[in-house]
Amino acid sequence: EILSTRRSIQHCCRDNNLGKGLQVLNQAIRNCVYIEAQSFYNLLNLCEGSFAKGGVHVGTPRPRDDCKIDDPNGKLNSNDKRHKRDVDIKGANDGLKQNDESDISLPQRLSHANEIHSLLSRLKIPCTEPTYTALIRLASRVGDFDQAEKYLDQAERTQQCKVKLRMYSALIRGYC
């Protein structure tokens, strides 16, 4: 299910289908499927619209023979770190709205991105520079400069995020 979820999210990114991507996320959360950090990052970039511009490449995972579930019943052991994270994911984002429309407004996209970012924060998954850049761009495009500045501040304080000029330029462009 992990590979299937990742692949489904990648296909949504390829097709620029945010509504379907959010449905895949919600289904994975309901089914306690482990969601990799990269899938969250891809969804945030999808909210921003990076995939529509062809600016983000999403590779297709290749199944490996050594990828096995922890037990024959397909359930993770209760002491498995991934299981705990799945439990944390389940119900953590019940308010995430599903939307089949391919034309989702910018404020709705920002709302979805904020919810996904909040979920990442609750799961203690740090955002990367491209992820923060997407969040800042989206908030700036909507005109929510306070939120964009908050994301910039968080990015500057995140150890795993190496701040680049494009992050600042997104906010500066928004002010212009």
Model pLDDT for residues 65-88, shown as the tens digit of each residue: 333 333 334 443 333 444 444 434
88-100 pLDDT per residue, tens: 444 444 445 544 4
The answer to whether the beta carbons of residues 9 and 21 sit under 8 Å apart is: yes
- Confidence class of residue 49 from pLDDT cuts 50, 70 and 90? confident
Cα 8 to Cα 11, 52, 58, 71, 75: the distances in Å are: 5, 17, 11, 24, 21
Write down the mean pLDDT value for the chain: 77
| Cα distance between residue 104 and residue 144, in whole Å | 17
The whole-model pTM stands at 0.71
Sign, CA torsion 145/146/149/151: negative
Quickly tell me which residue has 């709205």 as its tokens: 97
